[in-house]
Structure 1
Amino acid sequence: MRVALLAESFLPHMNGVTGSVLHVLRHLSDAGHQTLVIAPRSDDADDPSAGHGISAELRASASGAPLYGARTALLRSVPLPGYPQVRVVFARAARLAAILRAFEPDVVHLASPFVLGWQGVAAADALRVPTVAIYQTDVVAYARRYGLPHATSLVEQHTARLHRRATLTLAPSTASLRQLEELGVDRLRHWGRGVDADLFAPHRRDEGVRARLAGGDLVIGYVGRLAPEKQVEDLRVLCDLPGARVVIVGDGPSRSALERAMPSAVFTGHLAGEDLARTLAAFDVFVHPGESETFGQTIQEALASGVPVVATGTGGPVDLVRSSVDGWLYRPGDLGDLRARVVDLAGDAGKRRAFALAARESVRSRSWATRVGELLGHYRDAQELRPIDDALLRRAGTRPAAPSPAVRSAVPWRRYVALGDSLTEGLCDSSREPRGRYRGWADRLAQLLAHAGDDGAGLRYANLAVRSRRVRDLAVDQVPRALALRPDLVSVFMGANDLVGHAADPVRLARELRASVETLRASGADVLLVTPFLPRRRAARIFGRRFAVFASELRRIAAETGAVLLDLEALPEIGDPAMWADDRVHLRSRGHRFLAYRAADVLGVPDAEALGELDAALHETVDPPASGAWITAHALPWVWRRMRGRTAGDGVRSKHDDYVLVGGRGQATVTRSG
């Protein structure tokens, strides 16, 4: 794969963005991918002394030499007023497009995009190249912190426009996902940061380093940029703790003011590599006071070093620090609570040792190799989504949006009714079912919803779906029967049979379906609306435009009626032929599992994604071989039924006309709906 990375900051200025880009470059190179870096050129990039502690290899890369085999295009930049280490590039989109066109990337990676990133996404759009935006800097909070309240709304609008324009946006934490969703950003995915657990490790602890830093005192340390948004001045409440020394590692525009405010603290300046690793491992307690962190990479490095962490209980740290296990989260802005948490650890060596062991254990699965492997998966998703987006934009449609499960919360539904056709009936999902009976994604979802409750009451579940049914059957038959059951959750997955018919009009069909959704919502029920989808086969392409238009209309319906949308056009995996049964029109068990767990995810079932992966690993079934050639086994019987004006659903009843109890304390039993 050919990956172009646009970074708002780069060497020689080391920060979280630069560090992440370097790790991504390294692991992409190790995997055989080709990379290009487009970034600001510093005026001192050719000065060998400008590395500020970085290795010779990285200094060489800053002056234009290859970095992990990456090509570089370093553009003229100007320093940010008041913070000259940060450079801003004002490059025209046309120039960036020319650079990208020469490189021919498969995907454009936008590292913490803002100014350069906006031009980059415009250039990528001109070339119709997918873009993956990495949300890493909370520029809205920075605008407030730097005394620019009138600019805050402009920054929010720009951030939202940029990330809505990107093909995918990856955010590192629950807090950042929530923040972006509140700004109206769609197509969000979670992607955390890796940590170098070989470099940052407990065995780096060096008593000589400790003696130089604090003599025989305990070391209470901070690592990071010294700038207003980091709130390092809050550490002043720790400077008078008996038997302890505050050590501050880093540099930035606030350093002089901080040295005046905390004269007893030790300021080491910028450290990197093994010097940083030995210093960090020498800490007894790591403190991170910043409230504007989207992630908190130095927190993760402290944990890897076996150092307990005390951090503010907001933003990225909430996902990293397990309070009372490997550190403490204190109340944001409450410096008394900060001091009390540090005193608790400083005065208890046994607790520090226990927290240290838990801290190191918490990062074992967070290697950069693993994270870059996940990133490649997001790149491939963006490649699948870009042509869909382009086709929709040409028709003024809305693009598919993958929801962010991390920002939703589960609702304790008690009565769930599934409406639809053969896919909701569960055809071809015979996993652990007697011959001739089917399980299906809705049955699986009902179990997940039942077990999500914590009171043991279970879930009452009805499935009124029947094969071959169409949108008109939804309104005339299924919705009235559903309303009689007084459900609090209804899933609606309908339209595929209409869309493959002669001269189907997807806009008209969506209007008909909307009336059913509005009726269900007016009854007080929540509605899960599912977009129909096609297998990734050449023969299915003739229906692609109809399905795309219909899905676009369903997005509008969901947004305007308050329905929860499971937008399967944003999940390209569902089109994989391995998800589909031998008849090529229904899902096999694997596909039904995928659909069920994605539905649970958008409905807020806790840990649905992890449960889905476990289910796939433990219950992957070997599907039976095809029973004869596809033409004779499946195609000809379908044609014969159509010629006779019949359907596969003629004479078929829904499998659960009334409620069955799922997940209760007893066996599943049929109950009366009244």
Structure 2
Amino acid sequence: MRVAILAESFLPHMNGVTGSVLQILRHLAAAGHETLVIAPRAGEVDADLHGARTALLRSVPLPTYPQVRVVFARAAHLGGILRAFAPDVVHLASPFVLGWQGAVAADALRIPVVAVYQTDVVAYAQKYGMPHATALVSSHVARLHRRATLTLAPSGASLRQLGDLGVDRLRLWGRGVDADRFAPHRRSTAWRRRIAADDVVVIGYVGRLAPEKQVADLAALRGIPGARLVVVGDGPSRAELEQQLPDAVFTGHLAGGELARALASFDVFVHPGESETFGQTIQEALASGVPVVATGVGGPVDLVRSSIDGWLYRPGDLDDLRARVVDLVGDPAKRLAFGLAARAAVVERSWERTVDALLGHYRHAIALRAIDDGLRSRSDRRPDPGGRAVEPAADWTRYVALGDSLTEGLCDTSRMIDGQHRGWADRLAQLLAHAQDGPFRYANLAVRSRRMQDLVHTQVPAALRLAPDLVSILIGANDLLTPRPDPAALAADVEVAVRQLHEGGCDVLLVTVFLPDRPAARVFAPRFAAFNAHLRRVAERTGARLLDLDAHPEIADPALWADDRVHLRPAGHRFVAYRAADTLGVPDAAALARLDAALHSEEDAPSDPRSWLVRDVLPWLWRRVRGRTAGDGLTAKHADYIVIGDDGVRSDVAAG
């Protein structure tokens, strides 16, 4: 098997992600597999990479943590690297920035992607004082992992966290431990004597010295009689921590045999971080025969068996942390019993077995990708001039669009008379008509401000009376903007609608909902992501065709949004129309989109913010106060079919 690993972090910076990648390279090579590592270039790499090829990319350091490097690579560049290596699977190690571009590139090449969730970047954003970025980061994490063929999470807590973000296709995959290196016989009397007197109990911590690790919580352990605190590691918080913990011994970064000797020489291992997806140093301490005190949340819950090989203390309760450590400091017999149980619990979790399980996940992802391609009928698609597979459009002749203001076409006045709107569905109808021989009939039952119940009880019955062979559904945003929406229940209503339409002989195109990239919109991003995740399951269960706009992040570009900031401008409607046409197999839709963009390169100047307030916000507030909506009293603009013929468009659908 040929495996391309995209690592968000790599040598010479050593951390949990880098360590895992090195172990994977070692054991894949031993099993005869070929590997490629794509990662940030941060310095000389002189470690044994076990025959792996490398593509180390130009990177920039994080201002607050220069050891961490970020790559801003174009998907096209990554696609070229992947195409040359021709991997069977792409492995994303703790993906975020580089990982997203890698996922996009792999998807374009139809390569299965396995994303390994290893870093809780949402919690990191909070710890680094960026609470306003939390919703945006959550949305990005959800979008990235939903795009992957399969996501591997290291703990039950991580599985639940990703599930709550609407990520599906989740599997549990932990980490291996080198039980030969990390073992009780590595304990060193000489090392301990450099730290403290023989009768002193050594309390140790190993990890990055950074805010998200909450190392400052170890101040709660100051003054425990007969004990000495040792902090192993380095990072941006070291100077501050040395002031907060003046009695502790700071060793700096240790690796290899030095780290194994230090861990085995501890009497108690303490880990206070509440944002751990796993906790590899906890597992290494357990393998070293050292009892562990860790916070009772996240990854440690799966590793530490409270009262058997350590203690889990109440998250945030530093008095409880101190009490648990004091309990072990004062009871050498309990430390011995816990240490023996700790070693026995993890000694069989070898990296060889862990990588064997990873290979099974790779094979599963390859099978899933084939299923995905089959669901999209990609095996029946013909290649376009760019080499991408395109599904032939079905022989549809009657198309009905359902939804709210986005499908009605609000703010798309391109080449329309005053008071009329065009919209993405009108544009799609024209594209579909040109792909067929003979006349094409089109109706648009969408009305602004409509919600899910309008779809189920009004629009679907009206559509069925028209006996279409294709129906599009884009709705849900108005429901999701209410105070306490239920995304799962809303998606269940969509599934009811889809099944009714299928029973009526209709093919269905589902379109995911989307938001502009504006600060005010980001608070709604988690609920939109959850609803879209449910829509994907609806499409899989019902066989509906899916235009997943989460796979097209450009839709969030404010340049595609109108001056009212909640609807699309003509360029945005064109964007959706051509993606929908591509999903439905309209020949050369992507090329036509580029041509259309060149011919309609209008750059609408944004309106004065004061006019936006008067024109859009105040009328909306006034309607809300009165219990009214913008769609009250309005009917569908095309309640019956209009005909689009070979000679253009008849009725009020504009041509060109």
TM-score tier by shorter-chain length is 0.5 to 0.7
Q: Whole-Å Cα distance in 1 between the matches of residues 135 and 232 of structure 2?
A: 33
In structure 1, which of residues 119, 138, 158 is the aligned counterpart of residue 140 of structure 2? 158
Say if 1:11 and 1:550 are closer, same or farther in 2 by CA, change over 3 A.
Answer: closer
Correspondence list, 1:83-122, <5 A: 83-122=65-104
Q: Name the residue aligned to 1:354.
A: 337
Cα separation, partners in 2 of 1:281 and 1:511, compared to 1, 3 Å? farther
Amino acid of the structure 2 residue aligned with 1:318: V
Give the aligned partner of residue 235 of structure 1. Answer: 218
Give the structure-1-normalised TM-score: 0.57
Name the SS of the counterpart of 2:49 in structure 1.
coil
Counterparts of 1:355 and 1:369, CA distance in 2: 26
Moved more, 212-221 or 333-342: 212-221
- Count matched residues: 395
* Residue deviations 1:26-48 (CA, integer Å, cap 9, x gap): 00000000000000001xx13xx
State the match for 2:54 in structure 1. Answer: 72
1:319 to 276, 297, 302: 302
- 1:184 matched to 2:166? The reply is yes
**CA deviation after TM superposition for structure 1 residue 507, in Å:** 6.5
Per the alignment, residue 11 of structure 2 pairs with: 11
1:264 aligns with 2:283: no
- Report the secondary structure of 1:365's partner residue: coil
Indicate the SS of the match to 2:96.
coil
Measured in 1, the distance between the counterparts of 2:106 and 2:120 equals 23
Cα deviations by residue, 1:576-612 (Å, 9 ceiling, x for unpaired): xxxxxxxxxxxxxxxxxxxxxxxxxxxxxxxxxxxxx
* Distance (Å, rounded) in 1 between the aligned partners of 2:291 and 2:364: 37
Q: What is the letter of the counterpart of residue 193 of structure 2?
A: A
Tell me if structure 1 keeps the 8 A contact 2:499–2:542. Answer: no
2:230 is matched by which residue type in structure 1? V
Unaligned runs of 5+ in 1: 47-58, 396-505, 513-547, 557-674
Asked whether the 8 Å contact 1:507–1:549 carries over to 2, the reply is no
Partner of 1:141: 123
Name the CA shift for 1:390/1:352 in 2 (closer, same or farther; >3 Å). same
What amino acid does structure 2 have at the position aligned with 1:11?
Answer: L
In 2, Cα distance between the equivalents of 1:326 and 1:170? 26
Amino acid at match of 1:297: Q
Contact kept? 2:375, 2:543, Cα under 8 Å: no
String of CA shifts for 1:281-327, please: whole Å, max 9, x gaps.
Answer: 00000000000000000000000000000000000000000000000
Aligned 1:397-546 pairs, distance under 5 A: 511=503
- Quote the residue 2:25 is aligned against: 25
Q: Report what 2:413 is aligned to.
A: none
Partner of 2:557: none
Structure 1 residues 550 and 233: alpha-carbon distance in aligned structure 2, compared to 1, 3 A threshold = closer
Deviation at 1:214, TM superposition (A): 1.9
**Is the contact between residue 220 and residue 247 of structure 1 (CA under 8 Å) also seen in structure 2?**
yes
The answer on whether the counterparts of 1:510 and 1:550 sit within 8 Å (CA) in structure 2 is no
Equivalent position SS for 1:196: coil
State the partner residue of 1:619.
Answer: none
C-alpha contact (below 8 Å) 2:114/2:149 kept by paired residues: yes
- Residue 553 of structure 1: how far off its partner (Å): 3.3
1:25 counterpart letter in structure 2: L
User: What is the alpha-carbon distance in structure 2 between the residues aligned to residue 278 and residue 553 of structure 1?
Assistant: 54
- Which of 321, 333, 353 is residue 338 of structure 1 equivalent to? 321
- CA deviation profile, 1:478-530 (whole Å, cap 9, x unmatched): xxxxxxxxxxxxxxxxxxxxxxxxxxxx9789759xxxxxxxxxxxxxxxxxx
Tell me if the contact between 1:507 and 1:550 (Cα under 8 Å) persists in the aligned partners.
no
Q: Which amino acid aligns with 2:540?
A: S
1:369 to 352, 357, 369: 352
- Which residue of structure 1 aligns with residue 577 of structure 2? none
Verify: 1:298 aligned to 2:281, yes or no.
yes
Q: Once the two structures are superposed, what CA deviation does each residue of 1:171-206 show, in whole Å capped at 9, x if it has no partner?
A: 000000000000000100000000000000000011
**For the Cα contact (< 8 Å) 1:510–1:553, is it kept in 2?**
no
2:61–2:67 contact (8 Å) kept in structure 1: yes
Give 1:385's match in structure 2, choosing from 368, 372, 376: 368
1:118 is displaced (CA, Å) by 0.3
State the distance in 2 between where 1:32 and 1:154 align: 41
TM-score by length of 2: 0.58
1:121 touches 1:131 (CA, 8 Å); kept in 2? yes
SS at match of 2:208: coil
Structure 2 residues not aligned, in runs of 5+: 379-497, 505-535, 545-656
Residue 219 (str. 1) matches residue 205 (str. 2):
no
Residues 150/555 of structure 1: CA separation in 2 closer, same or farther (3 Å cut)? farther
Tell me how far apart the structure 1 counterparts of residues 93 and 217 of structure 2 sit (CA, whole Å): 29
Name which of 251, 257, 264 aligns with 2:234: 251
Q: Residue 388 of structure 1: CA displacement?
A: 1.7
Whether the 8 Å contact between 1:308 and 1:359 is mirrored in structure 2 is: yes
1:200 aligns with 2:159: no
Separation in structure 2 between the aligned mates of residue 335 and residue 555 of structure 1, nearest angstrom:
53
Q: d(CA) in 2 for partners of 1:210 and 1:29?
A: 37
Q: Distance in 1 between matches of 2:285 and 2:11?
A: 23
Could you tell me which amino acid in structure 1 is paired with residue 218 of structure 2?
L
C-alpha contact (below 8 Å) 2:204/2:230 kept by paired residues: yes
Runs ≥4 residues deviating over 2 A: 390-395, 506-512, 548-556
CA-to-partner distance for each residue in 1:540-587, whole Å, 9 max, x for gaps?
Answer: xxxxxxxx999823488xxxxxxxxxxxxxxxxxxxxxxxxxxxxxxx
CA distance in 1, matches of 2:66, 2:503: 56
Aligned counterparts of 1:82 and 1:197: Cα–Cα separation in 2: 35
Q: Does 1:553 align with 2:541?
A: yes
Relative distance call for 1:219 and 1:123 in structure 2 (3 A) is same
What is the CA distance between 1:390 and its match in structure 2? 2.4
Q: Name the CA distance, whole Å, in 2 between partners of 1:551 and 1:163.
A: 18
The verdict on how the C-alpha distance between 1:549 and 1:204 changes in structure 2, with shifts beyond 3 A counting, is closer
Q: Find the aligned partners of 1:553 and 1:325 in 2 and give their Cα distance.
A: 45
Q: 1:551 to 1:154 in 2, by over 3 A?
A: closer
CA-atom RMSD in angstroms: 2.2
Moved more, 127-136 or 236-245: 236-245
1: CA distance between counterparts of 2:39 and 2:311? 37
User: Does the 8 Å CA contact 1:507/1:553 hold for their aligned counterparts?
Assistant: no
User: In the alignment, is the contact (CA less than 8 A) between 2:117 and 2:154 conserved in 1?
Assistant: yes
* SS of alignment partner, residue 219 of structure 1: strand
1:300, 1:363 within 8 Å by CA — same for their partners in 2?
yes
